[in-house]
Amino acid sequence: MEKRLRESAEELRSILENATDIVYTLSFDGIFAFVSPAWTELLGHDVSEVEDRPFSDFVHPEDVEACWDVLRRVMTTGRPVKSVEYRVRHRNGTWRWHSSSYAAVKDKYGNPLYGVGVATDITEHKLAEDALRESERRFRELLGNVKLAALVLDKGGRITFCNDFFLQLTGWKREEVKGRDFVGTFVPLPLQERDRRILTNSLQKGVAPAHGESEIQTRQGERRIILWNNTILFNLDGTIAGFASIGEDITKRRMAEEKEKELVKELESANRELKDFAYIVSHDLKAPLRAIRSLAEWLYMDYRDSFDEDGKEQLDLLINRVNRMQNLLEGILHYSRVGTSKEEKILVNIREVVAEVIDLLAPPPNIVISVDEDMPLLLVDRTRLQEVFTNLLNNAIKYMDKPEGRIRISCQPQGEYWQFGVADNGPGIEEKYFDKIFGIFQTLQPRDQVESTGIGLTIVKKIVETYGGKVWVESRLGEGSTFYFTLPASE
């Protein structure tokens, strides 16, 4: 019997010496009677420094009272207590987290004699928990401050988390939302079958659509269009934990897109009407004008000598007005075709185009036109570009009021554009007319003084803006004007 007891004692000592957890005995007045060698390994103190000392010398002051409560409970009830967490001081001054299970050793009558405990170091686990809590806090704080709806669903599609923006968007309270079936509660009925199928397949296969557009319904019945970004959540063991989504409310954007589509349709309809109008102008109105002009010219040729001076002047005025009307109709037809007819974009040498236009206009001897040497090659419709320079140069020539007229055509790079300038030393323009002159039918002088349709600059503006450029004027009254326009550079 004694041999067996000695063997049992040796076995117990061997177990205690090799145990990774600390085994200890504690009197009911809080004194350590025994601690296993694991104490030295885990906390740095020699066993002799611990035994016969109160536990309060080693436990964190904030945790001492809780440990006393456990000790009293075991002593009073005789029942064990498991998983008591507290901090213990390491010899180097740091604090380690321990989890201890504690039970009473009783005499043959069942009376508690002392307590025995087993303590496990859980410091790394506690640090991980703290890090996780901090991460969750930051995550929730981040989601709480963004104007995006955030949701986390469990494997059954029930809401386990939502941020404040989602609640504001839907009009629900947090306590009402948690645990609710997302699809059944927030997805409009016609879309529920589709969205539930997507969610179920994602949770079964572990692959969620990276993003997708759907609708949710607010508590008041209003439908909102949401662009969701989704991901599957996994447990540490690799099993599927749930589904997470962050969604942007794009309702206003989609409404704007629909409005834009409607406006495009209206614009297309207006363009068709403009083409129809141009057709009427070019055919139905020009024919009677030609007849009036022919009749006026016939009167002028056959009966001119029968008219007095006043009659001759009126007849000349009639012919001029008919010619002006024809020019206006041609201008309207021309303007309506800009941007609607097919264009042939080719690489155009701008210097060659300018030279052709100058040759075509044949300026009078008193006007000198100079052109900068450095002119680019641009991918444009050659005819359209000729129209731009023709209108600008024709205006500069037509309105020149100096005996020695000077016109300069310049060009310089401006980022991704080329900036052209047509400068003259003519009469200049008042600043209040800078915008007006680009409007259709706008002229600064009476048409009986200077013949003009008032469409030329309007056509220039429309052509330039068709290419993504802009046109403007800078001028000083009496000193001349410079008309600038930009065109995108060709790679």
The answer as to CATH 3.30.70.60 being correct for domain 345-488 is: no
* 215 neighbors 223 (Cβ within 8 angstroms): yes
pTM of the model: 0.42
pLDDT at 432: 81
In this prediction, residue 330 carries a pLDDT of 63
Angle 172-174-176 (CA atoms, 0-180°, nearest 5)? Answer: 65
Report the pLDDT value the prediction gives residue 130, as an integer from 0 to 100.
83
pLDDT in tens, the chain (491 residues): 444 444 444 554 555 566 678 999 888 899 998 898 888 888 999 988 999 999 999 999 999 999 999 989 988 888 899 989 999 999 999 999 999 999 988 888 888 888 889 999 998 888 888 887 887 777 777 666 678 888 889 999 999 988 888 998 999 998 999 999 999 999 999 999 999 999 989 888 888 887 888 899 999 989 999 999 888 888 878 888 888 888 899 999 999 888 988 888 888 777 777 666 666 666 666 667 777 777 777 877 777 777 787 877 777 777 777 666 666 566 566 655 665 555 667 888 999 989 888 887 888 999 999 999 889 899 888 878 888 898 899 889 988 889 999 999 999 998 899 999 999 998 888 888 777 777 654 454 444 444 444 577 888 888 888 888 999 989 888 889 999 999 998 76
DSSP code at position 181 = B
Domain 135-249 CATH superfamily: PAS domain (3.30.450.20)
Q: What confidence score (pLDDT) does residue 7 get?
A: 45
pLDDT in tens, 58-77: 999 999 999 999 989 988 88
Q: pLDDT tens for residues 19-28? A: 678 999 888 8
Strand, coil or helix: 128 = helix
> What is the residue type of 230?
N
Cβ(25)–Cβ(33) under 8 Å? Answer: yes
Which among 232, 200, 193, 233 is positioned nearest to 214, based on CA atoms? 193
Q: What pLDDT does residue 418 have?
A: 92
- For residue 466, the model assigns a pLDDT of 84
Distance between CA atoms of 146 and 141, rounded to whole angstroms?
Answer: 9
Check for a shared fold between 135-249 and 345-488: no
Q: How far is CA 195 from the centre of its chain?
A: 25
208 closest CA partner among 248, 244, 246: 244
Q: H-helix or E-strand containing 99?
A: strand 95-106
Architecture in CATH of 2-121: 2-Layer Sandwich (3.30)
Residue boundaries of the structural domains of the chain: 2-121, 135-249, 255-337, 345-488
Residue indicated by tokens 């504001």: 168
Q: How far is the C-alpha of 152 from the C-alpha of 163, rounded, in Å?
A: 9
Residues whose CB falls within 8 Å of the CB of residue 219, separated by 6 or more in sequence, listed in order: 170, 171, 172
Q: How far apart are CA 139 and CA 241, in angstroms?
A: 18
